[in-house]
Amino acid sequence: MTPRPTSGALSVDAAIDQLGLGAFQWRLLLICGLTWAADAMEVLLMGFALPGINASFGLGPGAPEAKWLLSATFAGMFLGAWFWGWAADRLGRRTVFLTTVSLGVVFGLLGAFAPGLAWLVAARFLTGFAIGGTLPVDYSMMAEFVPTAWRGRFLVYLESFWALGTVLVAALAWGLSSLLPPAEAWRWLLALAALPGLLGLLARLGVPDSPRSLLVRGRMEAAREALERVARLNGRPLPAQPLEVPATAARVSPAELFSGGIGRRTLLLAAVWFGLSLGYYGIFSWLPSFLKAQGMDLGAVYRTTLLLALAQVPGYVLAALLVERIGRRATLVGYLVASAAGAYLFLGAGTPGQVLATSALLSFALLGAWGALYAYTPELYPTPLRTTGMGFVSGMARLASVLSPSLGALLLTGQLPVALTLFAGCFLLAALCAWAIGVETRGRQLSDVLDPAS
C-alpha cells in the first residue's frame, strides 16, 4: 500500500510535516478532546447512576437488571465501532465525525426521560452505538493531521481528555447526590452528561475532512483545500506541487484486515484491546459499588472516584513523554505489566489508605496503557483501512466491556482473589501480544509503517 510515484508530487506526509505544528492541530485536539471527555462521561455514568436507578425502579442489590444497564452502553459501542469505522473509510471522516456526535446527544437525552427500565436499557444501547463511532474516527483524524514528530504525543493528549470526563462525571454525580434524592438525581445526571456532546458538535462543524481520506477516495481538490486550511491556521505556505495520489483504490474490503501481515497485526491488536478492556472495566465499573460495600458512604465513594480520576493525569503525562522517547510498543508493554502488579497490590490492601493508594496506582497505570495503545493502533493501518481497523479492534474492547460487568461482580461476592487474578492475567497476556506485534512507529511517517515486513 505504497503511494504511486509521481514526478515532482508532494506526499501528504511531507505536506503535513512541512506545515508543522500550529493552531490547527491544537484546535483539533480541543475539539476532539471535548467530545472524548463527553464520551467518557457517557461510558462511566451508569456506575454513578445505578444506586438512583435501583431506587427509582425498585431494584434490589445485585439485581440482574443492573448488569444489563452496565452492559447496554458497551454492547451498543461494540456494534457502533465496527459499523462507524467501516462507514468512515467509505464515506469520509467528517461525515461520521458529525453524525455520531449528533446521535449520541439525542439518545443520551432520551435516556434521562425513560419511563421504564426497558426504555432505559434501549436508550443506553443506542447511545453506545452512536459514541462507539467517535473512537475510530477521532483518533484517525488526529493521526492524519499531526506532524510525524508530534503524532504520538498528540494521540496520548487526546486520550487524556478521558480523565477530564471522569472528573466531570464524578463531580457532577457528587454534586447532584447532595442536592437531590437518588431517585431524581440519576435523571439529571444523564441529561447533563449529554450536553458536552452538543458543544462538541458545534465545534466540529468547522473541521475539514482528512486529506488522506479524501485522496484515497479520489477527491484531489478537496484534499488540497483541507491542507490549505491547515496552512492558513498554522501561518505557513503550502508547497505548490501537486499531491501524490495513493496507488490503493479507495474501496478496499474489510477482509484485508485479516490478510497477510496486516491480519497478524489485527489479531494481536484485538487481543491487546480485549485484555486491557476486560480488566479495566471489570475493576472500575464496579469500584464505586465495591467501595460502598466496604462501608463508605455515597459521598465518600464519589470523592474517592474523583481522586482516582486525578491519578490518571500523571499516567497520561508520562505516557506522552515515553511514546516519543522509548517508543509506543515499549511504553504500552511497560504500563500493562505495571497494571498487573497494581491488581495484586490492590488484592493485598487491608486498610482504607492502602485501598486508595493501590487503586490510584491502578488508575495511573491503566490509563497510561490506554494512552499508549491509542497512539499506537491507528499508525499500524493504511489510510483506506485505518478507521475500519480502529473500529474492529476497539469493537473487541467493547465486547470485553459487555462481559466485564459479570466478571467484575466477583468483586462484590467474596471472590476478590479470583477476579483480580483474572484481570492481572488479562493485562499480562495483552503485554505479550503488544510486544509480539514487532513494529515500532515512533518517528516514522504513516506511509512508512504500512508494510508488515518493515
Q: What is the DSSP string of 217-240?
A: TT-HHHHHHHHHHHHHHHT-PPPS
**Least confident span in 314-323, 340-349, 391-400:** 340-349
Q: What is the pLDDT of residues 377-390, one digit of tens each?
A: 989 988 888 888 98
> What is the tens place of the pLDDT at every residue in 276-326?
998 888 777 767 666 666 666 666 777 777 788 788 889 999 999 999 999
Please tell me the predicted confidence (pLDDT) of residue 113.
Answer: 92
Neighbours of 354 (CB within 10 A): 13
> Given a cut of 50, is residue 5 above it in pLDDT?
no
43 pLDDT band, cuts 50/70/90, is confident
Query: Residue 384 in contact with residue 252, Cβ under 8 Å?
Result: yes
* pLDDT-wise least confident of 127-141, 258-272, 422-436: 127-141
Q: Which percentage of the chain shows pLDDT scores above 90?
A: 32
Residue 4 has pLDDT above 50, yes or no: no
In this prediction the pTM is 0.82
Q: Are 349 and 358 in contact (CB under 8 A)?
A: yes
| Element holding 308 (H helix, E strand) | helix 298-325
8-state DSSP, 205? T
Stretch among 63-67, 95-99, 106-110, 369-373 having the lowest mean pLDDT: 63-67
pLDDT at residue 125 tops 90:
yes
Quote the pLDDT of residue 344. Answer: 84
Q: Is the pLDDT of residue 335 over 90?
A: yes
Q: What is the pLDDT of residues 241-276, one digit of tens each?
A: 888 876 654 456 778 888 888 899 999 999 999 999
What is d(CA 438, CA 152) in angstroms, rounded to the nearest whole number?
A: 17
- Chain-centre distance for alpha carbon 448: 25
pLDDT digits (tens, 9 = 90+) for 80-93: 988 998 888 888 88
Can you read off the three cell numbers belonging to residue 345?
A: 497490590
Is residue 246 helix, strand or coil? strand
pLDDT in the model for residue 53:
86
pLDDT the model gives residue 295: 65
Q: In the prediction, which pLDDT does 225 show?
A: 93
Q: Distance between CA atoms of 360 and 353, rounded to whole angstroms?
A: 11
